Amino acid sequence: MKISFLIPSLRKGGAERQFILVAEEMIKCGHTVEFITYKEEESFYPTLVKTIYISKKRKIDLVFLISLIRYLKKNETEILCSCYQGIFEGPLLWARLVKIFHSKVKVYSCFRSPYFSNAGKLVEKLTSNLSSMLLTNNKAAKNILINSIGVNERKVKLINNIADNNNFYPLTINKKLELRQELFNKSNKQNFAVIGSYIPVKNQLFILKTIKYLLGQTKINSLYFSFFGDANGLKSTYDKCLAYQKENNIESYSELNTSIENVNELLNAIDALIVPSLYEGSPNIVMEAILCKVPVIISKSANQSKLILNGINGFEYDTGNMHDLLRCIKKVKTNFFDFDHETLKQNMLKFDKQKIINQYSDVFTNL
């Protein structure tokens, strides 16, 4: 089977990591798999998967569409798997337009976000019939596709993310202490991290506002908050966060960083991960923290996949509720956190690599 993944670029997101994991495993199963990208961004994750670049200079670029169709026909691609919902900026619609002019290729649409704009819903209603199958990694998106947009239930398949336990795992206590000193130089404080691209949905500004609220209270002297993520993405809020941090004199209690390469080391160096997102499908960073045995404080909107089991591997708070967030921070701060390993083991079986690759193989070969 010849399979092409159409994505903007192989940059620094968790989505890209998942696509690489799936592609590499599908190649091991005997399939021919490649990435087709159209943004000139430097690849962040090393991979042996072949990557083809096709230039796309404008939001609506018919030259790009023609070039894509020609390549797929010449390459005899059997399945075009598109990811990211955006309208003309995202590849999902472009892959469906390919189907109009290249009927032999099967188009699969992948949904990671549970958020659909009104325009996005309209596009789905008008074009979803061009897709052979719609795949999603979270129940919320599946429910919207079926119940709100009206896609036939038989065309929608839920496949979880892969738990990447080859690259994410707990380190020794001594190594963790060494990393805390190296990364933060705040080994005497409790370190909380927020990891994700600086975009509105990730809600980093809410955490900065929480830090400002804590100013003047003695409790904050023992806390330190570090932010890591891509600062150059579409609708970046990095500059806005930086300005807020300086205007409110909270630089002694927080730091704003750009992307970091070794996320496993970072996770092992912190006391807890905070995920304040306004919505998430099935966030990779949460699963990676679980694999590193790091507790997660997460908003209810970001925990729709129920990766975090309250009191077992972290705490859930009401989205946007500062006092509820502080309640969770206090719980991590004052209690020795002990994971319920048996419950976690059973919960993580849903994300077993071989199980998920088998599901992909099934949908690709048994349509």
The C-alpha atoms of residue 184 and residue 266 are separated, in whole angstroms, by 10
CATH number for the domain formed by residue range(s) 173-349: 3.40.50.2000
Per-residue pLDDT band for 187 (boundaries 50, 70, 90) equals low
Burial class (CB in 10 A: 0-12, 13-18, 19+), 313: buried
DSSP alpha helix (H) spans, 57-170: 62-75, 91-101, 118-127, 139-143
| Gap between the Cα atoms of 34 and 49, Å rounded | 6
User: Average pLDDT, stretch 27-56?
Assistant: 87
Distance CA 194, CA 254 (A): 11
Give the least confident one: 27-41, 64-78, 118-132, 216-230. Answer: 216-230
User: Is residue 335 scored above 70 in pLDDT?
Assistant: no
Question: Would the CATH topology of 2-163+352-365 be identical to that of 173-349?
Answer: yes
Q: 39: pLDDT confidence band, cut at 50, 70 and 90?
A: confident
The encoded tokens of residue 5 equal 């993944």
- What band does 218 get if pLDDT is binned at 50, 70 and 90? low
Question: What long-range pairs does 239-246 form, CB within 8 A, spacing at least 24?
Answer: 240/205, 241/198, 241/204, 241/205, 241/208, 244/205, 244/208, 244/209, 245/208
Q: At 282, list the tokens.
A: 């099935």
Closest CA to 107 of 179, 181, 5: 5
Are the C-beta atoms of 191 and 224 separated by less than 8 Å? yes
Q: In sequence order, what are the beta bridge partners of 195?
A: 228
Q: Pick the closest to residue 82 from 49, 107, 50 (CA basis).
A: 107
Domain ranges of the chain: 2-163+352-365, 173-349
Task: Please identify, in words, the CATH class of the domain defined by 2-163+352-365.
Answer: alpha beta
Contact 281, 141 (CB under 8 A): yes
Q: 339, 272 in Cβ contact below 8 A?
A: no
Contact 245, 208 (CB under 8 A): yes
Which residue would you say has higher pLDDT here, 292 or 311? 292
Grade residue 81 by pLDDT with cuts at 50, 70 and 90.
very high
What is the rounded average pLDDT for all residues in the chain?
A: 89
Percent share of the chain, pLDDT over 90: 63
Q: Which of 39, 62, 133, 167 is nearest to 359 (CA)?
A: 133
What would the pLDDT profile of 158-174 be if each residue is shown by its tens digit? 999 998 888 899 999 89
